Chain A
Amino acid sequence: MTPKEYNIFYKEELLASDAWRAHAWDVFASAYNSSERVQLVFDRVNAKRKYWLIHAEYDYGDDELPKGDCFRLEADEAQSIMAFVKHVEESTDRPIDQVSMCVDLTGFMRPHLLFLALYLHHRGVRKVDVLYTEPDGYRAKERTTFSQGAVAVRQVAGFEGVNSPDHADDLLIIGAGYDHRLIKAVAEHKDKADKIQIFGLPSLRADMYQENVLNAYKAEDAIGVNKSTDLAAFFAPANDPFVTASVLSEIVCRRRRIKPISNLYLSPLATKAQALGFALYFIGEGMNASTNMLFPVSSRYTRETSYGLSRVWLYTVEYPLFL
């Protein structure tokens, strides 16, 4: 049993000073919010068609929408993403697997971005480019609030797995982000499971790791004590989905060497780049197994939590290489 390597995929930094002319796509999609980094990237990308995806959770009224082709997404990620893909197919008059596509993850709700990654694979798309922009910082540092309203933990559509009724050796891996109440919610939801947290290190900015750990500490009691293993914390770069997927693979292999896993639960609560890594791991190793993705869904999200644009990353996901 050896961990799978996901580092073979391309990752490239796009410099803010360049015009990004080397890259062009048929379609570009980005989830709209009030962060300047999301809007700067939207304007900069070269694509024949650009779509703004409008998440219901940001609660934008019609008069607040940006100019351009806006497509509203509802809370049901499966229905919304399938409808959007259909919209793209209709407007380009081509099936989705024949469209060159780039998606900016930055403003996405995680369940939607997870389902999008899985659905594109399901539809036979061979390659998709993904952008992620790092902020200069978060407005209220470790006290920044992202989610608002009631939280309900549920499985992400399509990631529901084949479940074992034996929960004696369940394992929950949490990508630990800033929002400690989400960590607490998911940890309490699977409180019988052993829990391992992945922290973003290197973090996006030097001070963010400390802020991240400070927040995770607030959920310490919900995380509890592991029964089967002393492994409790791992690290993966906050801006690298491929290393994140590799770290997940390594954690699962190490844990399986100690004991079998009844049900494996994954919960990506950190950066969107890491969330993509969780989806890639699932596609690579978790399909049709007792692996599933959990997410503490909130009714509303803050429209603007960060300031500035620090770096832009381009990841190239090539689905056939997983299999």
Chain B
Amino acid sequence: MINRPDNPFRITKSNDLTDEQINQLWVSVTEDDGITGLAWPASPTAMYILGGKGSGKSHLMRYYSFPVQVIRYQESGTPISEGIKSDGYVGVYARCGGMDSSRFEGKALDEEKWSALFAYYFELWVADKTLATVETLLDQRVIAPETDAIIAGEIATLLDKDVSSITSIVNAREYFADLRRTLDYAVNNAAFGKKLDAEILVTRGRLFFGLPKVFCKHVDFLKQIIFVYLLDEFENFAVNRQIYINTLLREREGPTAFRIGSRLYGRKTLQTLSGGERNLKDSEYEDLFLDERFRQNATKYRAFALRLVSRRLDPIAERREPNDNGTHHLFDFFERPNMDWDSRYFLDATAKHDPAERYHLTNLRDKLQRGVSEGFVVGIHGNKEIGELIKTISFPEHPIVEKLCILHLFQKWFRSANLADAAHFVRERAEAKLSGEKDKKFDEFVDKHKSDMIAQWLRANSKKQVYAGLENFILMSEGLPRALITILKHIYDWAIYTGEDPFKRGKISVDSQHLGVVEAADLFLEQMLPDGEDGVRVGSAIERLCLLFRANRFSDKPIETSLIAFSVDQLALDPEARRVLDLATKTSLVISVERGQRERNSKGVTSKLEVNRMLAPRRDLPIARRGVATFDASTVDLIFMHSKAAEFEVFAKSWVNKMTAPAFGKRARQKRRQVVHPDFFE
């Protein structure tokens, strides 16, 4: 039996990685920021690390955790004490989801009591992790055994009652575990109606801030370092629990710092218990929006993504930071057909068809015939002139040039220009282009519209859209590394299934890439949608948005080119539409594009938003954004409000009609007057 090769992209979530794998697969964001990169773990200022699902928050935070620090020291042969001194911090990693905080509610007990019990339990919970790091230092004999008892004595003083049984750090850990167990039993028994009488032995923050103070006071190499609490999955805490953590941030003392990891929608409040004050940005805390940061710097993200892929393929390579020369070969593993306007790909693909039967030409003929009979066409009066026009814009050797010429005709037609003149005009430009002449305006026209015209041609010829090439997959992942890994995971699986030898021999076929990327796109939507009915609302809003963009892309005269984005004044939206749009943004299904869009007419600044490019293959949308549709608030209400389904249907129909010849959304009437000075190449 031949073993199926192990997919190097099989693990997509950092939670499925061991500490060793976290270290092994770590890639820093830039060459120069090294391990003390984005989250500045040695800085005392608190920071929320926010990002969409799969943006790399947990990997980043776990990389800073003490067990992974130790692995790095061991790898480099650095003594632990030296390593910690050089890092300037000890990372205490805890997942808020691990505590199941929901059990600290209900059971006929009031919220005030639960809040106090939760705070106490959480303090004991994190103290266990802090003590575990120091226990490692004891085991490694980095802390002298005689210091152990001194530290233990001081830990005992942090409690609100005299405890003589704490004589060592191990002992302290056991004592705290007993307190936790007692509380666990009490919480359990509260479910059976028993009175919950738990004695709280720690004042808020005493262990959080007190333990690091004690360690730094008595251990020489810890004197200048800080204990950074890496609290991940903050979204799992309800508002009242978050208020408690926010209070710790505000009341921080001694050699401690906080890094709080959360999904974009996960931070529910900035309120504290300190006189009801709210924490202020850049005063009590900083924000790091991880995926947004990646998107803002495409070059850095590209380099990061390439190293990420390279590390997956060769995790034990000696050269841990492959440079450009080391990663460029990755592109070569993917088949990528030439999709430029003059590519032979399109000719070869239809070589078997009679040129006279080319779909786009027959379609144009039909529309012209209808247009003439309904009085929508200027400059063409009958079948003979239609035949001549089609002959004028025919380039049998260049199907995409034909498509571009037809687009030009549709644009002129929409403006009621003389189509015979337009056909001759565009033929001259096309011939010049084919002979290699430069014409800035026509070159721009080709560049701007070729992607949509190629998409139309592929569809008309029953071919799949081409989503191929690592460069495109990096673009599609929108700053979410997990999205990139997921695409590659599925492509790898399909490549193996179809008998290819991915990343070893030959190229991965366009077909395998297509199948993988479509599967990854479906999965991405499924993963990112919020739970419950909000998921249905966001999902249907995304579908409607994609439906409009798709209609635009495959229309006779698209309103915008390569359309996946829109702009709108969010303040003018119906509250429900605004809420659903906000949810779509916070779950990364809609991406807010930096700096918004300045409107041509009103000069007001509105939000510019795009559909996550990961979703593009689901509805044959482009992955490179050019145009942005300007929607008024009422249109966005139709898209984002479930209750407006019927009105949306009417709008969608009129949207399509406006882009469709021969009427372009107008009623049939008498033949139009010719426009004397038509604009070329809109």
| A151 in the interface (beta carbon within 8 A) | yes
Most central of A115, A148, A152, A163 by chain B CB within 10 Å = A163
**A155 touching B98 by the CB < 8 A rule?**
no
Near B by CB (< 8 A), chain A positions 179-223 give 181, 185, 189-192, 218, 221-222
Most central of A149, A161, A165, A222 by chain B CB within 10 Å = A165
**A224 touching B15 by the CB < 8 A rule?**
yes
Please indicate the chain A residues that have their CB under 8 angstroms from the CB of B236 in the complex.
189
| A129 in the interface (beta carbon within 8 A) | no
**B533 touching A78 by the CB < 8 A rule?**
no
**Which of B101-109, B456-464, B496-504 is the interface stretch?**
B101-109
In whole angstroms, how far apart are the Cα atoms of A190 and B95 in the complex?
10
**CB-based nearest A residue for B127:** A165
Closest CB-CB distance, A66 to chain B, in whole Å? 28
Main secondary structure of the interface of B (DSSP, over half): helix
Number of A-B contacts (CB under 8 A): 97
Known: A224-B11, A225-B10. Contact between A167 and B98, CB under 8 A? yes
| A252 in the interface (beta carbon within 8 A) | no
Near A by CB (< 8 A), chain B positions 1-38 give 10-13, 15-18
**A154 touching B100 by the CB < 8 A rule?**
yes
| B523 in the interface (beta carbon within 8 A) | yes
| B296 in the interface (beta carbon within 8 A) | no
Please indicate the chain A residues that have their CB under 8 angstroms from the CB of B527 in the complex.
221-222
Closest CB-CB distance, B226 to chain A, in whole Å? 21
In whole angstroms, how far apart are the Cα atoms of A181 and B536 in the complex?
12
**Which of B183-191, B324-332, B443-451, B633-641 is the interface stretch?**
B183-191
Closest CB-CB distance, A154 to chain B, in whole Å? 4
Closest CB-CB distance, B445 to chain A, in whole Å? 43
Interface residues in A, total, Cβ within 8 A: 41
Please indicate the chain B residues that have their CB under 8 angstroms from the CB of A150 in the complex.
531-534
| B125 in the interface (beta carbon within 8 A) | yes
Please indicate the chain B residues that have their CB under 8 angstroms from the CB of A222 in the complex.
527
In the complex, which of the residues A161, A165, A221, A298 contacts B128, with contact meaning CB atoms closer than 8 Å?
A: A165
Known: A167-B98, A192-B95. Contact between A149 and B15, CB under 8 A? no
Interface residues in B, total, Cβ within 8 A: 41
**A151 touching B531 by the CB < 8 A rule?**
yes
| A157 in the interface (beta carbon within 8 A) | yes
| B355 in the interface (beta carbon within 8 A) | no
Main secondary structure of the interface of A (DSSP, over half): mixed
**B13 touching A160 by the CB < 8 A rule?**
no
**B191 touching A292 by the CB < 8 A rule?**
no
Please indicate the chain A residues that have their CB under 8 angstroms from the CB of B10 in the complex.
225
In the complex, which of the residues A79, A190, A226 contacts B107, with contact meaning CB atoms closer than 8 Å?
A: A79
Please indicate the chain B residues that have their CB under 8 angstroms from the CB of A115 in the complex.
191
In whole angstroms, how far apart are the Cα atoms of A47 and B188 in the complex?
33
Please indicate the chain B residues that have their CB under 8 angstroms from the CB of A185 in the complex.
531
In whole angstroms, how far apart are the Cα atoms of A196 and B671 in the complex?
72
| B99 in the interface (beta carbon within 8 A) | yes
Residue interface bits B173-213, CB-to-A below 8 A is 1, else 0: 00000001100110110011100000000000000000000
Report B's interface with A, CB cutoff 8 A. 10-13, 15-18, 94-95, 97-100, 102-103, 106-108, 125, 128-129, 132, 180-181, 184-185, 187-188, 191-193, 236, 486, 523, 526-527, 531-534
Ordered by A's residue number, 12 sampled pairs between the chains whose C-beta atoms are within 8 Å are A150-B533, A157-B107, A158-B192, A160-B184, A162-B185, A165-B125, A185-B531, A191-B16, A192-B15, A218-B526, A221-B523, A224-B15
Report A's interface with B, CB cutoff 8 A. 76, 78-79, 82, 115, 119, 122, 148-152, 154-155, 157-158, 160-163, 165-167, 181, 185, 189-192, 218, 221-222, 224-227, 288, 292, 294, 298-299
Return the 3 tightest CB-CB contacts between A and B, nearest first.
Answer: A150-B532, A157-B191, A154-B102
